[in-house]
Amino acid sequence: MPEGPSLYILKEQAIRFKGKKILLAEGNAAIDMSLPVNKKIIDIRTWGKQLLLCLPELTIRIHMLMFGSYSIDEQTKPAKSTRLHLKFSNGDIYFYTCSVKLLKEDVNKLYDFTADVMGDEWNQPKAIKKLKAITGTNICDALLDQQIFSGVGNIIKNEILYRTKIHPYNPVGAIPVRKLNELAKQARIYSFEFLEWKKKFELKKHWLAHTKKTCQRCNLPIIKEYIGKTKRRTFFCNNCQVIYH
C-alpha cells in the first residue's frame, strides 16, 4: 500500500476521526498504549509515506513499510494480528504489519513539509536546490530520497523518468536544470494521477514503464535492471530515455 498517494487516501478516510477522542488503544505495536488514550486527535497529516496522527504534545506515526495495511470500521475480526487499533465514538481504525512510533517532538521540526510532493507546502525550487547539492548521486536514487521527494516510491520513480525521457543512469549533475524541473514537476503531477487511478482500482492499467516489456513509444524492449545505491527495480527504454553528457 506504500507510496505517497496511498497514504493520501488513508488520510482522507481517517479524517473523520479528527477532533475525536481516542477511547481505546490496543495492539502489538511496541509503544506505550496508555499514552494516546483519552487524548484528542487534533490533526491528521501525511508526510510522504507516513501517516501522522497528532495529539496534544504527542504524535502517532504510522509507516506502512512494504506490506502494511489498514481498515476502518472492521465488521468481522480479521485473522491477522492487529498492530494498532484505535477506538473512537464514531468508529474504529485498525493498522496491520506497519511500523508504529510515538513522537514527542514537534512534527514540523522533524519533517520538512516542503519536501512532500503531494503536500500544500511542496516547494519545487527547494527540491531543485537540494538536487544541486548532490550532483554525483544517481537520479534514480535521488528520486527515492524522502528528504527531497517525500512520497515518491519505486513505481513513481520509474514512471516519471520514462515520462520525462530521462535515463535512470544519469547522475543528477549531468541532467539539464530544465529537465530536473520537469521531473520535479511530474513528481507531483504523477502522484495526483496515481491517486485518482488508485481510487478507481486501475493503477496498473496506466503504467507505461513499470513492469512493462515493450516501450509504447518506439516498440523496443523495456529494460529491467537493479540500479543505483538502492538497487531497486528500474524499468526504462534505452532508446527513448536520454543519457546526458
Judged by the rule CB under 7 A, the positions of this chain that interact with DNA are 1-3, 6, 48-49, 63, 65-67, 69, 80-81, 96-97, 99, 144, 146, 153-155, 210-211, 229-230, 232-233
Q: Cα angle at 25 between 24 and 31, to 5 degrees?
A: 155
Rank residues 22 and 149 by Cβ distance to DNA and give the closer one: 149
Task: Tell me the closest approach of the beta carbon of residue 97 to DNA, in angstroms.
Answer: 4
Please say whether the beta carbons of 79 and 13 come within 8 A.
Answer: no
Residue 11 one-letter amino acid: K
State the minimum distance, in angstroms, from the CB of residue 89 to DNA. Answer: 28
Which residue lies nearer to DNA by CB, 41 or 155? 155
Per DSSP (E only), the strands in 48-199 are 50-55, 58-63, 69-72, 84-88, 91-96, 99-103
- How many other CB atoms are there within 10 angstroms of residue 173's CB atom? 14
Min separation Cβ 24 and DNA, Å: 22
CB of 6 to DNA, least distance (A): 6
Q: Considering beta carbons, is residue 80 or 132 the nearer one to DNA?
A: 80
Q: How far is the CB of 78 from DNA (least distance, A)?
A: 8
Distance CA 154, CA 4 (A): 11
Q: What minimum distance in Å lies between the beta carbon of 126 and DNA?
A: 19
Distance of alpha carbon 180 from its chain centroid, rounded? 20
Shortest Cβ 44–DNA spacing (Å): 19
What are the distances in angstroms from CA 82 to CA 26, 62, 96, 147, 233? 8, 13, 5, 30, 31
Instruction: Compare residues 86 and 195 and give the one whose CB is closer to DNA.
Output: 195
Smallest CA-to-CA distance from 51 within 1, 105, 126, 124 is with 1
Q: How far is CA 30 from CA 86, 99, 100, 106, 160, in A?
A: 15, 9, 7, 21, 37
Which residue, 48 or 119, has its beta carbon nearer to DNA? Answer: 48
Nearest CB to DNA, comparing residues 88 and 192: 192
Sorted by sequence, the CB contacts under 8 Å of residue 79 that are 6+ apart come out as: none
**CA 50/CA 61 separation, integer angstroms:** 7
Q: Decide whether 45 or 210 has the Cβ nearer to DNA.
A: 210
